[in-house]
Structure 1
Amino acid sequence: MDVAGPATVLVFSHRAEVRSALRTAIGQQPAADVGPLHWVECSSGDEVVAAVDAGGVDLCLLDGEGQPTGGMGISRQLKHEITDCPAICVVIARQADRWLAHWSMADGTLAHPVDPLVAPEVVAGLLRDRASAGRRPAPRR
Protein backbone atom coordinates (compact mmCIF):
# COMPACT_ATOMS: atom_id res chain seq x y z
CA MET A 1 0.00 0.00 0.00
CA ASP A 2 1.30 3.48 -0.89
CA VAL A 3 1.90 5.78 2.05
CA ALA A 4 1.69 8.90 -0.06
CA GLY A 5 0.04 7.44 -3.15
CA PRO A 6 0.05 9.19 -6.52
CA ALA A 7 1.31 12.76 -6.30
CA THR A 8 1.42 15.83 -8.49
CA VAL A 9 4.82 17.49 -8.52
CA LEU A 10 5.30 20.93 -10.03
CA VAL A 11 8.80 21.64 -11.33
CA PHE A 12 9.78 25.25 -12.04
CA SER A 13 12.75 26.67 -13.88
CA HIS A 14 13.05 29.07 -16.76
CA ARG A 15 15.53 26.56 -18.23
CA ALA A 16 14.09 23.38 -19.75
CA GLU A 17 17.31 21.47 -19.06
CA VAL A 18 16.99 22.12 -15.31
CA ARG A 19 13.38 20.88 -15.31
CA SER A 20 14.46 17.79 -17.23
CA ALA A 21 17.39 17.13 -14.89
CA LEU A 22 15.09 17.27 -11.87
CA ARG A 23 12.54 14.90 -13.40
CA THR A 24 15.29 12.49 -14.46
CA ALA A 25 17.04 12.52 -11.07
CA ILE A 26 13.79 11.89 -9.18
CA GLY A 27 12.13 9.48 -11.59
CA GLN A 28 8.49 8.44 -11.81
CA GLN A 29 8.40 6.76 -8.41
CA PRO A 30 10.97 8.10 -5.90
CA ALA A 31 10.33 5.31 -3.36
CA ALA A 32 8.39 2.06 -3.20
CA ASP A 33 5.74 3.66 -0.98
CA VAL A 34 5.52 7.00 -2.81
CA GLY A 35 4.17 7.69 -6.24
CA PRO A 36 3.72 7.40 -9.09
CA LEU A 37 4.37 11.05 -9.85
CA HIS A 38 2.48 13.26 -12.26
CA TRP A 39 4.70 16.14 -13.42
CA VAL A 40 3.55 19.70 -14.08
CA GLU A 41 6.18 21.92 -15.69
CA CYS A 42 6.29 25.69 -15.29
CA SER A 43 8.75 28.11 -16.85
CA SER A 44 7.60 31.31 -15.12
CA GLY A 45 6.60 32.45 -11.66
CA ASP A 46 3.14 33.38 -12.88
CA GLU A 47 2.59 29.82 -14.15
CA VAL A 48 3.63 28.43 -10.75
CA VAL A 49 1.24 30.69 -8.84
CA ALA A 50 -1.64 29.88 -11.23
CA ALA A 51 -1.02 26.11 -11.01
CA VAL A 52 -0.81 26.09 -7.21
CA ASP A 53 -3.83 28.37 -6.92
CA ALA A 54 -5.82 25.97 -9.14
CA GLY A 55 -5.15 23.16 -6.66
CA GLY A 56 -3.97 19.61 -7.04
CA VAL A 57 -0.24 20.23 -6.52
CA ASP A 58 1.36 18.20 -3.73
CA LEU A 59 4.96 19.36 -4.06
CA CYS A 60 6.72 22.26 -5.78
CA LEU A 61 10.34 21.93 -6.88
CA LEU A 62 11.53 25.48 -7.48
CA ASP A 63 14.79 26.54 -9.12
CA GLY A 64 16.40 29.08 -6.80
CA GLU A 65 18.24 30.50 -9.81
CA GLY A 66 15.07 30.92 -11.89
CA GLN A 67 14.75 34.10 -13.94
CA PRO A 68 13.36 36.69 -13.74
CA THR A 69 11.81 35.51 -10.47
CA GLY A 70 13.73 32.97 -8.44
CA GLY A 71 12.28 29.97 -6.68
CA MET A 72 13.00 31.38 -3.23
CA GLY A 73 10.87 34.45 -3.84
CA ILE A 74 8.10 32.30 -5.29
CA SER A 75 8.31 29.97 -2.29
CA ARG A 76 7.90 32.82 0.17
CA GLN A 77 5.00 34.25 -1.83
CA LEU A 78 3.18 30.89 -1.94
CA LYS A 79 3.71 30.26 1.78
CA HIS A 80 2.17 33.65 2.57
CA GLU A 81 -0.69 33.53 0.08
CA ILE A 82 -1.88 29.89 -0.14
CA THR A 83 -3.80 28.56 2.87
CA ASP A 84 -2.98 24.89 2.30
CA CYS A 85 0.31 25.42 0.50
CA PRO A 86 1.93 22.35 -1.04
CA ALA A 87 5.31 21.23 0.24
CA ILE A 88 8.10 23.27 -1.34
CA CYS A 89 11.65 22.23 -2.14
CA VAL A 90 14.07 24.85 -3.46
CA VAL A 91 17.01 23.87 -5.65
CA ILE A 92 20.00 25.92 -4.51
CA ALA A 93 23.26 26.55 -6.33
CA ARG A 94 25.45 26.66 -3.22
CA GLN A 95 25.21 25.11 0.25
CA ALA A 96 25.72 28.63 1.61
CA ASP A 97 22.29 29.50 0.17
CA ARG A 98 20.50 27.30 2.72
CA TRP A 99 19.82 30.37 4.86
CA LEU A 100 17.97 31.94 1.92
CA ALA A 101 15.94 28.76 1.52
CA HIS A 102 15.09 29.01 5.23
CA TRP A 103 14.02 32.64 4.69
CA SER A 104 11.86 31.50 1.76
CA MET A 105 10.01 29.12 4.13
CA ALA A 106 10.87 26.13 1.91
CA ASP A 107 10.26 22.71 3.44
CA GLY A 108 13.41 21.25 1.90
CA THR A 109 16.36 21.91 -0.37
CA LEU A 110 18.30 20.14 -3.08
CA ALA A 111 21.74 21.24 -4.25
CA HIS A 112 22.44 21.81 -7.93
CA PRO A 113 23.60 19.75 -9.75
CA VAL A 114 20.93 17.43 -8.44
CA ASP A 115 22.23 14.14 -7.02
CA PRO A 116 20.06 11.23 -8.29
CA LEU A 117 20.68 9.35 -5.04
CA VAL A 118 19.62 12.22 -2.78
CA ALA A 119 16.79 13.82 -4.78
CA PRO A 120 14.34 10.87 -4.67
CA GLU A 121 14.86 10.56 -0.89
CA VAL A 122 14.16 14.26 -0.32
CA VAL A 123 11.06 14.21 -2.55
CA ALA A 124 9.73 11.00 -1.00
CA GLY A 125 10.27 12.41 2.50
CA LEU A 126 8.40 15.62 1.71
CA LEU A 127 5.49 13.70 0.17
CA ARG A 128 5.37 11.31 3.14
CA ASP A 129 5.30 14.28 5.53
CA ARG A 130 2.41 15.80 3.57
CA ALA A 131 0.53 12.48 3.61
CA SER A 132 1.07 11.95 7.33
CA ALA A 133 -0.23 15.46 8.01
CA GLY A 134 -3.46 14.46 6.23
CA ARG A 135 -2.88 17.00 3.48
CA ARG A 136 -2.91 14.53 0.56
CA PRO A 137 -4.17 14.44 -2.06
CA ALA A 138 -4.70 18.08 -2.85
CA PRO A 139 -8.05 18.65 -4.60
CA ARG A 140 -7.96 19.52 -8.29
CA ARG A 141 -10.14 22.41 -9.33
Structure 2
Amino acid sequence: MSSAAAAARPLPRTVVVFSHRPEVREAVRTAVGTHPAADVGPLRWVECATGAEVVAAVDAGGVDLCVLDGEAQPTGGMGIGRQLKHEVADCPPVLVLVARQADRWLAHWSMAEGTLTHPVDPLVAPGAVADLLRARPVASGRRG
Protein backbone atom coordinates (compact mmCIF):
# COMPACT_ATOMS: atom_id res chain seq x y z
CA MET A 1 0.00 0.00 0.00
CA SER A 2 1.32 3.43 -0.87
CA SER A 3 1.96 5.98 1.84
CA ALA A 4 -0.70 8.25 0.27
CA ALA A 5 -3.31 5.48 0.51
CA ALA A 6 -2.33 4.78 4.12
CA ALA A 7 -2.56 8.48 4.98
CA ALA A 8 -6.04 8.74 3.42
CA ARG A 9 -7.43 5.80 5.39
CA PRO A 10 -9.23 6.91 8.56
CA LEU A 11 -7.68 5.80 11.83
CA PRO A 12 -9.60 3.36 14.03
CA ARG A 13 -11.88 5.01 16.57
CA THR A 14 -12.78 3.62 19.99
CA VAL A 15 -16.41 3.80 21.08
CA VAL A 16 -17.58 2.86 24.57
CA VAL A 17 -21.13 1.48 24.65
CA PHE A 18 -22.75 1.26 28.08
CA SER A 19 -25.87 -0.48 29.30
CA HIS A 20 -26.55 -2.96 32.07
CA ARG A 21 -28.51 -4.94 29.45
CA PRO A 22 -26.37 -6.85 26.92
CA GLU A 23 -29.16 -6.72 24.33
CA VAL A 24 -29.04 -2.90 24.33
CA ARG A 25 -25.27 -2.90 23.83
CA GLU A 26 -25.70 -5.40 20.98
CA ALA A 27 -28.49 -3.33 19.40
CA VAL A 28 -26.24 -0.26 19.34
CA ARG A 29 -23.27 -2.16 17.89
CA THR A 30 -25.49 -3.80 15.26
CA ALA A 31 -27.24 -0.55 14.28
CA VAL A 32 -24.00 1.43 13.94
CA GLY A 33 -21.72 -1.33 12.65
CA THR A 34 -17.96 -1.08 12.41
CA HIS A 35 -17.86 1.55 9.63
CA PRO A 36 -20.58 4.17 10.21
CA ALA A 37 -19.35 6.32 7.29
CA ALA A 38 -16.70 6.14 4.59
CA ASP A 39 -14.65 8.90 6.25
CA VAL A 40 -15.03 7.54 9.81
CA GLY A 41 -13.85 4.29 11.23
CA PRO A 42 -13.26 1.51 11.55
CA LEU A 43 -14.75 1.39 15.02
CA ARG A 44 -13.46 -0.60 17.95
CA TRP A 45 -16.26 -1.22 20.43
CA VAL A 46 -15.63 -1.39 24.18
CA GLU A 47 -18.66 -2.76 26.02
CA CYS A 48 -19.34 -1.66 29.60
CA ALA A 49 -22.04 -3.04 31.89
CA THR A 50 -21.43 -0.69 34.84
CA GLY A 51 -20.76 2.97 35.37
CA ALA A 52 -17.43 2.13 36.99
CA GLU A 53 -16.34 0.34 33.80
CA VAL A 54 -17.22 3.43 31.72
CA VAL A 55 -15.25 5.74 34.00
CA ALA A 56 -12.26 3.37 33.98
CA ALA A 57 -12.31 3.10 30.18
CA VAL A 58 -12.43 6.88 29.72
CA ASP A 59 -9.78 7.44 32.41
CA ALA A 60 -7.48 4.97 30.61
CA GLY A 61 -7.54 7.23 27.55
CA GLY A 62 -8.05 6.62 23.87
CA VAL A 63 -11.86 6.79 23.89
CA ASP A 64 -13.34 8.78 21.00
CA LEU A 65 -17.06 8.54 21.88
CA CYS A 66 -19.32 7.22 24.65
CA VAL A 67 -22.77 5.84 23.84
CA LEU A 68 -24.61 5.63 27.16
CA ASP A 69 -27.99 4.06 27.92
CA GLY A 70 -30.07 6.65 29.75
CA GLU A 71 -32.33 3.86 31.03
CA ALA A 72 -29.51 1.77 32.55
CA GLN A 73 -29.80 0.58 36.14
CA PRO A 74 -28.80 1.27 38.84
CA THR A 75 -26.91 4.25 37.42
CA GLY A 76 -28.20 5.72 34.18
CA GLY A 77 -26.14 6.94 31.30
CA MET A 78 -27.22 10.54 31.82
CA GLY A 79 -25.71 10.65 35.30
CA ILE A 80 -22.54 8.97 34.09
CA GLY A 81 -22.30 11.36 31.15
CA ARG A 82 -22.67 14.38 33.43
CA GLN A 83 -20.06 12.96 35.80
CA LEU A 84 -17.61 12.46 32.93
CA LYS A 85 -18.17 16.00 31.63
CA HIS A 86 -17.41 17.43 35.08
CA GLU A 87 -14.46 15.21 35.94
CA VAL A 88 -12.58 14.39 32.73
CA ALA A 89 -10.44 16.96 30.96
CA ASP A 90 -11.04 16.73 27.21
CA CYS A 91 -13.96 14.36 27.75
CA PRO A 92 -15.02 12.47 24.65
CA PRO A 93 -18.42 13.31 23.19
CA VAL A 94 -21.40 11.58 24.76
CA LEU A 95 -24.40 10.18 22.91
CA VAL A 96 -27.29 9.20 25.20
CA LEU A 97 -29.97 6.62 24.43
CA VAL A 98 -33.35 7.92 25.61
CA ALA A 99 -36.71 6.17 25.84
CA ARG A 100 -38.63 9.00 24.16
CA GLN A 101 -37.82 12.09 22.13
CA ALA A 102 -39.42 14.06 24.99
CA ASP A 103 -36.53 12.91 27.20
CA ARG A 104 -33.99 14.82 25.12
CA TRP A 105 -34.04 17.69 27.64
CA LEU A 106 -32.64 15.29 30.24
CA ALA A 107 -29.81 14.41 27.89
CA HIS A 108 -29.15 18.13 27.50
CA TRP A 109 -28.93 18.37 31.32
CA SER A 110 -26.36 15.56 31.23
CA MET A 111 -24.25 17.67 28.83
CA ALA A 112 -24.52 15.03 26.07
CA GLU A 113 -23.71 16.16 22.55
CA GLY A 114 -26.36 13.92 21.01
CA THR A 115 -29.25 11.53 21.56
CA LEU A 116 -30.75 8.42 20.01
CA THR A 117 -34.07 6.88 20.96
CA HIS A 118 -34.88 3.28 21.89
CA PRO A 119 -35.22 1.17 19.83
CA VAL A 120 -32.02 2.18 18.05
CA ASP A 121 -32.76 3.01 14.41
CA PRO A 122 -30.09 1.57 12.06
CA LEU A 123 -30.85 4.32 9.54
CA VAL A 124 -30.18 7.11 12.04
CA ALA A 125 -27.57 5.70 14.45
CA PRO A 126 -24.57 5.49 12.07
CA GLY A 127 -25.00 9.13 11.05
CA ALA A 128 -25.28 10.33 14.65
CA VAL A 129 -22.11 8.43 15.63
CA ALA A 130 -20.21 9.56 12.52
CA ASP A 131 -21.16 13.23 13.07
CA LEU A 132 -19.82 13.21 16.63
CA LEU A 133 -16.63 11.40 15.61
CA ARG A 134 -15.99 13.84 12.74
CA ALA A 135 -16.18 16.74 15.19
CA ARG A 136 -13.40 15.30 17.37
CA PRO A 137 -9.82 14.46 16.44
CA VAL A 138 -8.72 10.88 17.10
CA ALA A 139 -8.30 10.48 20.85
CA SER A 140 -4.86 11.06 22.25
CA GLY A 141 -3.44 8.69 24.78
CA ARG A 142 -4.59 5.72 22.71
CA ARG A 143 -3.64 2.42 24.20
CA GLY A 144 -3.44 -0.54 21.81
* TM-score range for the pair, normalised by the shorter chain length: over 0.9
Structure 1 length normalisation: TM-score?
0.93
Q: Does the CA-based 8 Å contact 2:61-2:139 persist in structure 1? A: no
CA shift, 1:61, in A, is: 0.2
CA shift, 1:104, in A, is: 0.1
Instruction: Give the letter aligned to residue 110 of structure 2.
Output: S
Within the alignment, does 1:43 sit opposite 2:49 as a pair? yes
Q: Which runs of 5 or more residues in structure 2 are unaligned?
A: 1-7
Q: Which runs of 5 or more residues in structure 1 are unaligned?
A: none
**Structure 2: distance between partners of 1:15 and 1:72:** 16
Match of 2:92?
A: 86
CA shift, 1:140, in A, is: 2.7
Instruction: From 73, 83, 102, give the equivalent of 2:79.
Output: 73
Greater share of residues in strand? 1
Superposition map of 1:3-14 within 5 A: 5-14=11-20
Structure 2 length normalisation: TM-score?
0.91
**Identity percentage over the alignment?**
73
Match of 1:125?
A: 131
Runs (4+) of structure 1 exceeding 2 A deviation are none
Which of 1 and 2 has greater Rg? 2
Q: Does the CA-based 8 Å contact 1:5-1:33 persist in structure 2? A: no
Q: Does the CA-based 8 Å contact 1:25-1:114 persist in structure 2? A: yes
